[in-house]
Amino acid sequence: MALISLEDVTKVYPKGTRPALDRINLEVERGEFVFLVGASGSGKTTLLRLLLREEEATEGEIRVAGNDLRRLKSRQIPLYRRSIGFVFQDYKLLTNKTVWQNVAFTLEVIGARRSTIKTMVPQVLKTVGLTGKENNYPRELSGGEAQRVALARAYVNHPGILLADEPTGNLDPTTSLGIMEVLDAINRTGTTIVMATHNEEIVNSMRKRVVELHGGKIMRDERHGLYDSAKFFPDAEVEAKAQQALGKASLTAPAAAQTPVAGGEFSNEGIARLASSVHAGRTGRYGEVFSSVEETLTWGKGLHLDLESESIEQTPGQDEAGQGGTATNTNTNTNTNTNTNTNTNTNTNTNTNAQSQEREQ
């Protein structure tokens, strides 16, 4: 049974003139990394909010990790949400708490022991490359660092599912690469990731499953996004990162990282391609945000999904929460290479819905 399934799901907001989601059918298997793409207003955030049970479907059935979300009682919702990690474009950090306290807080609210907190917080900060920043307050962090704290907080209790709404939306291309490295590492521990994004270069480079929404309907569901790698690495830092990612895939990565995903490639190659294309300056956002449907349908040439015959391989020993693996792909400070963005797209992302959702924690 799929980890996430939506059957004929429709969402009409009280003031909505048309359905925000219109008879959506979608299945996501355990361990998958799914990009949700589509023009502004196509329904990406709504889909994530339904999965988080911040909104209820008007019609249809949603199941997440065995939970039928229609049957979830109000008092069960906080517990349900704690089993899911989520990150937003604007980080939502607690401004009066340090990096350490922000991450520890997630564990405190679920009643974790102090000894557990003391063990897990440094581990996850190391995973996201923030060792040394424990005592900084959010205002003392760069955008990329703040987003990594948000990721650490979402991941610290090793959720089986991580939902991300434009997690790179406010970040420059090189910093976004760092965030994608962390997300990729988290995914390789077995955590299923559903990420809404406008960033076509990230999607094209990572070559994960791409679900494209338009007007609340799924217009495309492909196993891999476009492949458009750069062959030229004149920048030493980005080249090193790309080499490192490729090297890790074949030499030092943990077993989970070496497991070929459907299609036979190693997931770290996506990061290598992204590093390459970040450097080449092909960092455009999802460029067709305000264009017609004909023009927006430019995603991918990949295979159409056949969930019957293909499935993501699981690494033996990993439980549902992904605790069988530890992410080893630590991030390095990537903020120095910001001059390569030759993006000419002038669209701005107006994702205000996610921004207004304050996490209960």
Residues at the contact surface with ligand ATP, assessed by CB under 6 A: 13, 15-16, 20, 38, 40-46, 350-351, 353
With beta carbons less than 8 A apart as the criterion, state whether 146 and 93 touch. Answer: yes
Residue from 167, 174, 122, 133 nearest 147 by CA: 167
Residue 201: count of CB within 10 angstroms of its CB = 28
Q: Measured from the CB of residue 136, what is the shortest distance to ligand ATP in angstroms? A: 29
Choice between 157 and 353, CB closer to ligand ATP: 353
Closest CB to ligand ATP among residues 11, 282: 11
Q: How far apart are CA 252 and CA 44, in angstroms?
A: 36
For residue 38, which phi and psi values (nearest 5 degrees)?
A: 145, 165
DSSP 219-237: EEEESS-----------HH
Determine contact, residues 301/210, Cβ cutoff 8 Å.
no
Give min distance, CB of 171 to ligand ATP, in A.
Answer: 16
Report in angstroms the alpha-carbon separations of 66 from 4, 105, 164, 280, 350.
8, 27, 21, 43, 33
The residue type at 107: L
Residue found under tokens 């990537």: 334
Shortest distance, position 22 Cβ to ligand ATP, whole Å: 10
Contact 152, 341 (CB under 8 A): no
Nearer to ligand ATP (CB atom), residue 42 or residue 340: 42
Backbone φ, ψ for residue 297 (5° rounding): -80, 60
- If the CB atoms of residues 11 and 273 are measured against ligand ATP, the closer one turns out to be 11
The CB-of-64 to ligand ATP minimum distance in angstroms stands at 18
CA separation, residue 208 to residues 205, 262, 271 (Å): 9, 10, 11
State which residue, 141 or 195, has the beta carbon closest to ligand ATP.
195
State in angstroms the smallest separation of the CB of 165 from ligand ATP.
Answer: 7
Q: How far is the CB of 229 from ligand ATP (least distance, A)?
A: 26
Q: How far apart are the first and last CA of the chain?
A: 31
Shortest CB 274 distance to ligand ATP, Å? 21
Q: Which is nearer to ligand ATP, 39 or 141 (CB)?
A: 39
Q: Closer to ligand ATP at the Cβ: 45 or 187?
A: 45
CB of 200 to ligand ATP, least distance (A): 13
Minimum distance, C-beta of residue 358 to ligand ATP, in the bound complex (Å): 14
Give the whole-angstrom CA distance, residue 297 versus residue 299.
6
Rounded to 5 degrees, φ, ψ at 253 are: -70, 150
| 89 vs 98 by CB, closer to ligand ATP | 89
Strand partners, 68: 63
What distance in Å separates the CA atoms of residue 85 and residue 29, rounded to the nearest whole number?
17
Which lies closer to ligand ATP via its Cβ, residue 30 or residue 285? 285
